[in-house]
Amino acid sequence: MPNQTITQTNFNFPGQTSVYHGKVRDVYTLDDKIIVIASDRISAFDHILPKPIPQKGAILNQLAAHFLNATKDIVPNWLLATPDPNVSIGKRCEPVRIEMVIRGYLAGHAAREYALGNRVLCGEKLVEGLKENDKLPRPIITPSTKAMEGHDEDISRAEILSRGLVPKDIYEQMEKYTFTLFAKGQQMANEQGLILVDTKYEFGIADGQVMLIDEIHTPDSSRYFYLEGYEDRQAKGEPQQQLSKEFVRQWLIENGFQGKEGQKIPDMPDMFVDNITFRYIELFEKMVGKNFMPSTSENVLHRIEQNVLKYLASNS
């Protein structure tokens, strides 16, 4: 498998007005469109890790497109085209600076908070007697602020509305879409022998309409368990078999890093980097039901530029 990775991009497309380099994606803005390039960078605990992950960007981009296309009939979204394995082009939206995190199980951040004795998360009361990875009585939305830099922070629905961070009618539409998308995502996961445990959605406004933006249901934004054996593992108190980025976070924690001040990001061995690639491919193939075709391009950046230019020329 080719190991050429995309660590950064620096394009200048016709009509380009700005560029934003995020943790994982580089976003090029045109007048009414954005060009989103999925790099091979990987982040955890709000830090970009030193080593890129071969093929990760292409896997994420194609997974996101798969789920956006599968849900566009129930929730409008920003995606217009995917002219390259690493590129999505879509409508330019004004982002709502709140991430809609939805949880169906006590896992990850929620489980860590619960273990500390906290029984209220983002204004949502959690029942007593839960074990890590137990199914919650009902899915709950635990929003977080979308920080331009640094850490996102938990926030409650009541605080969002009282501070006027999002108008009430828009927030209620986001809530409705979040529950609808999560139900669809869980159904699609179950059909492939997986459980969609938790995920996050981001929304924006275009032409006065609330639209789904960014990626959905990828391992960067979601956590999956294997459906087969879930009940048995819970009954025995065993860890769940996961398809998500949580194993990266766990490895970092075991090696003394949680993104806290003064902590140094540990060096990731090449074998572990390769393992991340294989995990991402496994999730793609499990979720989409077909083989992942890795790029064989000798010059990935040149390929991306040419494919984007071709799309812009034919859609000008």
112 vs 246: which has the higher pLDDT: 112
pLDDT digits (tens, 9 = 90+) for 189-211: 999 999 999 999 999 999 899 99
pLDDT digits (tens, 9 = 90+) for 158-187: 999 999 999 999 999 999 999 999 999 999
User: Could you tell me what percent of the chain has a pLDDT over 90?
Assistant: 81
> 94-244 domain in CATH 3.20.20.140?
no
pLDDT of residue 3: 57
Q: Are 34 and 19 in contact (CB under 8 A)?
A: no
pLDDT of residue 2: 47
Cα(279)–Cα(241) distance, rounded to whole angstroms? 12
**pLDDT reading at 235 higher than 70:** yes
pLDDT digits (tens, 9 = 90+) for 43-97: 988 889 999 999 999 999 999 999 999 999 999 999 999 999 999 999 999 999 9
pLDDT digits (tens, 9 = 90+) for 132-143: 999 999 999 999
Residue owning tokens 């879409």: 177
Q: Are 301 and 38 in contact (CB under 8 A)?
A: no
pLDDT of residue 243: 78
145: left (phi > 0), else alpha (psi -120 to 50), else beta?
Answer: beta
**Structure tokens of 142?**
């635990």
Q: Are 124 and 140 in contact (CB under 8 A)?
A: yes
Q: Is 274 exposed, middle or buried (0-12, 13-18, 19+ CB in 10 A)?
A: middle
Q: Any residues with CB less than 8 A from the CB of 151 and at least 6 apart, and which?
A: 46, 259
